[in-house]
A and B are shown apart, each in its own frame.
Chain A
């Protein structure tokens, strides 16, 4: 038995496929690829698959993750190749890693996510949003009201923004935001609160969001950093409170 973590991208029209349907899509793809997936026990057995945090409908991604358990396999690379052979264009497995028993599930291991955010052409702001945003972000505290199951609660977004940059030419922003079971900052909340702070209205359809990757936290005696859930390149590490 092996546990595998697969990283995949989701681009093009596939971005309109909701999270549950992406799960159903993979269940079928795994059958088509004849992966020897492990099933749960019971009268209606289901495949042992779990996904990292769902992406909102309409967003694209190069950093989606799912964990699967297989009874047998030739190699992790073979699983990836077999799956890629039956993938729809728009969804592609880009890397695979074997997990050990002690590894946390992608969902629980997630600590942060990186996004590139643009505005859809028809809904571009009529003001210099990048400069305004920089000013906004330079404040000491960034309070926002977050919707929770039991109502609303105030959070400080500042603590949840690990990194950011703007690209004037591309008219885009890149954010590294908290995304874990204890703290998650959504792009829409950040942008919405920023717009509110300067008395502008943000259409819920305006943001064109692309997820670059999902990160986990690595902590040991000497250092503390975050890196992608599957990390093939030390360059993609971020050192926190360095």
Chain B
């Protein structure tokens, strides 16, 4: 146990939840620092409870610590009260396990899961007393490396990172560490090291590229400064998903965190080509894990953690071909151990309802549907293969099974959206209510009634999706649409059974700017941070007005990134990366969307997205 905490007792007792800063959790790894030659600080730039819930960090943490000469520790964004104290007392930010300053580490890795955490990255660098810009760093500073979904357009944060790791983290770190050891031994310069690093597949060293712009502000070219630096960076992908490291001894926090359970990743990727979904494209092709392997992982993880709940994780668990067998096994094993099973992302049908009635309290749980749009036309545009009939049939069966709470998720601001699509949201919600009253005659309701929550989020176009060309709505358009949705719901016969929630438009707009932003935004992010913006992902701390002022100051129009119409042949900031699906496929899908043509899914018929080149997963199904 590490008794030497970086913060004094007095400090820890004067801030909220001191448990966030003391480490020493079950399964956290402490090594002898004199016996390792690489110290890696792994950061999730948000508060502890959020960061500790992330599977990706647990994977890399476990994998790094399984390497003999590497010690990986964790870092999270200090909460605002602690942030203030660290600044006042000039205490450098520390890693949880050793409580040593992050600036003394060899690597500082960030997993970047959402755009609104960008200022928190700067917070962590700043509190660590590491120069914010890659250009200002020396060998005295750690190598700052970024990974995760947002690195598929890393340009808005390019100036802050030494390197981005594009793709799945399991594949290249050994090589990176070897190169680092050699560099230290040979005494080469930091820039030379970064240049050599760029030769490792998947490594994008942004400082090694020149970006030129056209007069209209769009990109003219992104070219490597040296011949040996690759012109395109291809994503890294695990070819054998059963062989890769999986953390069956994850760190178990003391305090309650968002994901307070064993997480079992059943597969990676998704067969469904929803056109708005970035994850669906980034993790292609779908690779399933072997069911026997999963059973073993489940048992080991439960034994090593003592968690009372296990959750299956994937983009669409219903598509896992061995699902019935896996669930049967879990139900058998878990009921003995009094372990709960949670099954998010299941499609509602007879099978899933049967399973859910076994693992949850039907009276308390709710059914979730994500039609995403209010009309079939709109759902064809986004290629969401869920029909009104599916929803009503699923609801009907669920009502018979005792459920009476339904959650419906929609998006507003999708390409080609009309008032009819918006009003369709209220229609669907109402039809679900009608279905309830028809399925359940009064005498069968036992005094209960139907309870529907319809939620809308504002659509944000993301890189590497068919909608990367799409115009995003303005804040005003969004609010107007939310209003129409609300009125649409209010005009329904069963409106008193329907509750409507919608998101903040300011945050969505900001997310839209950052998602498809370019390098010019680095300055805006840096300046906004210096003015005090952090925790932008936390509604109450997001200062939209400060951001807008900063855009003005920097002479940058944020709408350039959101509401502008993009031409088919525009060069995007992220075109320098290759995520495995081709731009021509995405464009084809964009055109299909505009003409309202749905596409099939990987199992019904390959769309020729380009990911077959990896030679693994769903693309190979039935070929051997």
Contacts and interface: CB of A to CB of B under 8 A. Distances in A.
A120 B171 CA distance: 49
Nearest to B260: A24
A25 B22 CA distance: 15
Contacts of B22: 13, 16
A17 B9 contact: no
Contacts of A88: 1, 24-26
Interface string A15-59: 011100100110111111010000100011100000000000110
A31 B337 contact: yes
Given A31-B308, A32-B305, A44-B361, A58 B1 contact: no
Contact of A25 (B254, B303, B340): B254
Nearest to A88: B26
A24 B254 contact: yes
Interface in B10-29: 10, 12-14, 18-19, 22-26
B413 to A, nearest CB: 40
Contact of A28 (B10, B256, B305, B338): B305
Nearest to A42: B361
B207 to A, nearest CB: 40
B18 A16 contact: yes
Contacts of A24: 254, 256
Given A21-B255, A24-B254, A16 B306 contact: no
A14 B338 contact: no
Interface string A74-102: 00000000000010111000000000000
A18 B306 CA distance: 19
B10 A120 contact: yes
A42 to B, nearest CB: 10
Given A43-B361, A58-B9, A12 B1 contact: yes
Interface residues of B, number: 32
Contacts of B9: 58, 120, 205, 208
Nearest to B1: A89
Residue with the greatest number of chain A CB neighbours at <10 A, chosen from B23, B252, B340: B252
Interface string B335-375: 00110100000000000000000000100000000000000
A123 interface: yes
Contacts of A205: 9-10, 13-14
A148 interface: no
A88 B252 CA distance: 11
A66 to B, nearest CB: 16
Contacts of B308: 27-28, 31
A31 B26 CA distance: 13
B363 to A, nearest CB: 9
A13 B13 contact: no
Contacts of B25: 88
A45 B10 contact: no
A16 B12 CA distance: 8
Interface size class of chain A, counting residues whose CB lies under 8 Å from the partner chain: 20 to 34
A122 interface: yes
A46 B10 CA distance: 36
Contacts of B305: 28, 32
Nearest to B21: A16
B5 A13 contact: yes
A21 B13 contact: no
B66 interface: no
Nearest to A29: B306
B387 interface: no
Nearest to B24: A13
Nearest to B255: A21
A28 B3 contact: no
Contacts of B340: 44
A172 B241 CA distance: 59
B329 interface: no
A58 B13 contact: yes
Nearest to B339: A31
A205 B13 CA distance: 7
B139 interface: no
B13 A14 contact: no
Nearest to A37: B338
B15 to A, nearest CB: 10
A17 B254 contact: yes
Contact of B13 (A32, A44, A57): A57
B3 A31 contact: no
Contacts of A90: 1, 24
Contacts of A16: 12-13, 18-19, 22
A16 B26 CA distance: 15
A120 B12 CA distance: 13
B479 to A, nearest CB: 41
Nearest to A90: B1
Nearest to A33: B306
B8 interface: yes
A241 to B, nearest CB: 38
Contacts of B3: 12-13
A205 B307 CA distance: 34
B474 interface: no
Nearest to B337: A31
B620 interface: no
Contacts of A17: 19, 254
B304 interface: yes
Residue with the greatest number of chain A CB neighbours at <10 A, chosen from B8, B18, B337, B340: B18
A27 B256 CA distance: 13
A121 to B, nearest CB: 9
A204 B13 CA distance: 9
List of 7 A-B pairs having minimum Cβ-Cβ separation, nearest first: A28-B306, A89-B1, A31-B306, A32-B306, A16-B18, A13-B22, A21-B254
Given A21-B255, A25-B254, A89-B24, 10 more contacts: A12-B24, A14-B24, A18-B19, A21-B19, A27-B308, A28-B306, A28-B307, A31-B308, A44-B361, A58-B12
22 contacts: A12-B1, A13-B1, A13-B2, A13-B24, A16-B12, A16-B22, A17-B19, A21-B256, A24-B254, A25-B254, A28-B305, A28-B306, A28-B307, A32-B304, A44-B340, A57-B13, A58-B13, A88-B1, A88-B25, A89-B24, A122-B8, A205-B10
